[in-house]
Amino acid sequence: MAERRRCVKLDTRSGGGSGGGSGGRSEKGRMPMERSYSNARMANSFMYWNDCVDPDDLEAMWMDPAVRAEWIEVGETKGQKVHLSRDPDGQPYLTQTEMKAVADITVRRHFDSILDPEMICAIAELESDRKPLIMRYNKKTKETGLGMLQVYAKTAEWLAGGQGYQEYNVDDNPDLLHKPFINVYFAAAYLKWLTDYQNNQRSEEFVVRAYNGGTKKATHKSTLPYWKRYLVVKEALPSRKHVDAGPSSFHPTNPTSPGSNTNFTYWDSRASPEDMEDMWNHPEVCKEWTKSKEERGKVRFSQDSEKRPYLSRGEMKAVAEIIVSEYFSTKGIKVPLVCAVADTVSMRFVNGTGKKVGILGVDYKTAAWLNTELGYRAYRVDSADDLTKPFVSMYFGVAYLVWLSEYEGRERSNQFIIQAYIKGPEHVDLEAASCPLWLKVEQALSYYEEPKRDTGGCIIL
């Protein structure tokens, strides 16, 4: 297949970043346009997307409508290897559409959509022109930035060991940082760390300049040109709709401007005053809502690009903690498991997905049975619409999980409970070598279980 040219580079930049990337650095006296990319790692060159992403990530890319349209247009076929675009020098690069998709997917999966994917995309433009195999040695720090966002290996190790970002293990093989999803994951983790540096909420300018030159240079004149180029690049990024099977990048952390016609769905219309008070009293939720400038009596749900409301993982965990502690504290049900079920069956959408209603996907017939036959009456359920209320769906979902945990008078394993909850108890197959449903729930569990943190110190800047 002939080499493709799927993207025209931005003409608004004056070159690569001034030594940006996780770990913070700047090369004194050297202008960005003088940077050379001749030191790109070509020994392990990626020819195809299949060479640098796992099958699940490739499937997620195919699910992105903009990526799918772009790939089909240039002759790619699902099920076959997908070519990476190459520049005139033969180096692979991601198109802006592909870069945006990787950023969107990573933020949605691992950062509760509280980071701006456009920030990641703009920094990738400045740092590498979206080239995954770029390496750049910094004489001052004696460290080498790797990949599209120029992540230091020691920064990734610190984030994994000291900050709990353990989705990928790069300790024994830092070359993994050349892979797009891994590179973006650690860069986003570092950006998130910078947003709350020293427990103070930081501005976008501080975060970007600190990413470029380190926290000590975030207000120094040496990082100001990088910030100005960043603003130009970010403004010029192509806007596109992102439609996906789950919540995407839109979050009320970036409130709409006065006079906009965005129609939000409000928490207060889907929860009682007592439940809302419990949410405001939850420290993590209070912090999240305050940060996104929510007001008592008018708290917005996050929305995806199709304006579908969903719960952040922090909100999901809070609702589960409140319901479990108040009504099921003696039942042995674990909050992370409940949240993982919600992530699996509804992707945290308030109204549910497909035939699954609400965040726990409980159907009205089951909820009514639990209410009338088993005496679960803390919440009313007069119609299926009631199950689109997060606390109502959570209450009856947990009640059903409790009932399944003792199905037919026997104590049941988590694998049985999950299969029975999603497929029905009559369809459970514990003999299967690996249950895809359980594997999905296990993956979702990692979002809610407390990570093991290294208490040792590590200096990365």
Tens digit of each residue's pLDDT (9 = 90 or more) over 439-460: 677 777 877 876 544 443 333 3
Q: With a cut of 50, say whether residue 91 has pLDDT above it.
A: yes
Clarify whether residues 296 and 358 are in a common domain: yes
Domain harbouring 409, CATH code: 1.10.530.10
Number of domains forming the structure of the chain: 2
Clarify whether residues 322 and 400 are in a common domain: yes
Contacts of 168 (CB under 8 A, 6+ apart): 160, 176, 182, 185, 186
Closest CA to 127 of 219, 35, 206, 197: 35
Flag whether 253 is in a domain.
no
Phi, psi of 255 (to 5 degrees): -65, 150
Q: With a cut of 60, say whether residue 110 has pLDDT above it.
A: yes
Q: Per residue in 208-220, pLDDT tens?
A: 999 999 999 999 9
Clarify whether residues 84 and 209 are in a common domain: yes
Flag whether 51 is in a domain.
yes
**Looking at residue 439, what is its pLDDT?**
67
Last residue of a domain, one of 236, 251, 280: 236
Question: How far apart, in whole angstroms, are the C-alpha atoms of residue 127 and residue 84?
Answer: 19
Clarify whether residues 220 and 306 are in a common domain: no
Q: Per residue in 278-307, pLDDT tens?
A: 999 999 999 999 988 999 999 999 987 678
User: Following DSSP, what letter does each residue of 41-101 receive, concatenated?
Assistant: --TT---BGGGTS-HHHHHHHHHSHHHHHHHHHTT--TTS--BPEE-TTS-EE--HHHHHH
**Looking at residue 236, what is its pLDDT?**
84
Q: What is the dihedral of CA 435, 436, 438, 439, to 10 degrees?
A: 120
Question: How far apart, in whole angstroms, are the C-alpha atoms of residue 428 and residue 432?
Answer: 10
Q: Per residue in 127-141, pLDDT tens?
A: 999 999 999 988 878
Clarify whether residues 315 and 360 are in a common domain: yes
80-85: list long-range contacts, CB under 8 Å, 24+ apart: 81/48, 81/49, 81/50, 82/48, 82/49, 82/50, 82/58, 83/1, 83/4, 83/47, 83/48, 83/49, 84/46, 84/47, 84/48, 84/49, 84/51, 84/52, 85/3, 85/4, 85/5, 85/6, 85/7
Q: With a cut of 90, say whether residue 249 has pLDDT above it.
A: no
Flag whether 372 is in a domain.
yes
Mean pLDDT for the stretch of residues 221-248: 72
Last residue of a domain, one of 236, 256, 286: 236
Flag whether 245 is in a domain.
no
Clarify whether residues 204 and 327 are in a common domain: no
Confidence band for 199, pLDDT divided at 50, 70 and 90: confident
Report CA-CA distances (Å) from 209 to 17, 139, 281, 376: 11, 20, 35, 54
Q: Which residues is 86 bridged to in the sheet?
A: 92
Q: With a cut of 80, say whether residue 319 has pLDDT above it.
A: yes
CA angle 61, 62, 66 (to 5 degrees): 80
* SS3 labels along 356-394: EECCCCCCHHHHHHHHHCCCCCCCCCCCHHHHHCHHHHH
Mean pLDDT for the stretch of residues 37-65: 79
Phi, psi of 384 (to 5 degrees): -60, -30
**Kind plus residue range of the DSSP H or E element containing 106:** helix 96-110
Flag whether 453 is in a domain.
no
Q: How many residues does the chain have?
A: 461
Percent of the chain with pLDDT over 90: 57
Higher-confidence position of 232 and 130: 130
What is the span of the domain harbouring residue 433? 267-448
User: Following DSSP, what letter does each residue of 257-275 receive, concatenated?
Assistant: PTT------BGGGSS-HHH
Clarify whether residues 326 and 434 are in a common domain: yes
Flag whether 5 is in a domain.
no
Q: Which residues is 353 bridged to in the sheet?
A: 356
Clarify whether residues 282 and 421 are in a common domain: yes
Clarify whether residues 135 and 199 are in a common domain: yes
Clarify whether residues 383 and 433 are in a common domain: yes
Flag whether 435 is in a domain.
yes
Higher-confidence position of 40 and 162: 162
CA dihedral sign, ordered 419, 425, 426, 430: positive
**Looking at residue 42, what is its pLDDT?**
38
Q: Per residue in 339-366, pLDDT tens?
A: 999 988 888 999 988 778 999 999 999 9
Clarify whether residues 63 and 157 are in a common domain: yes
Confidence band for 146, pLDDT divided at 50, 70 and 90: very high
CA angle 413, 335, 191 (to 5 degrees): 125
Contacts of 62 (CB under 8 A, 6+ apart): 68, 71, 78
Closest CA to 98 of 52, 38, 166: 52
Confidence band for 390, pLDDT divided at 50, 70 and 90: very high
What DSSP designation does 3 have?
P
Flag whether 16 is in a domain.
no
Clarify whether residues 199 and 72 are in a common domain: yes
Question: How far apart, in whole angstroms, are the C-alpha atoms of residue 197 and residue 199?
Answer: 5
**Looking at residue 113, what is its pLDDT?**
64
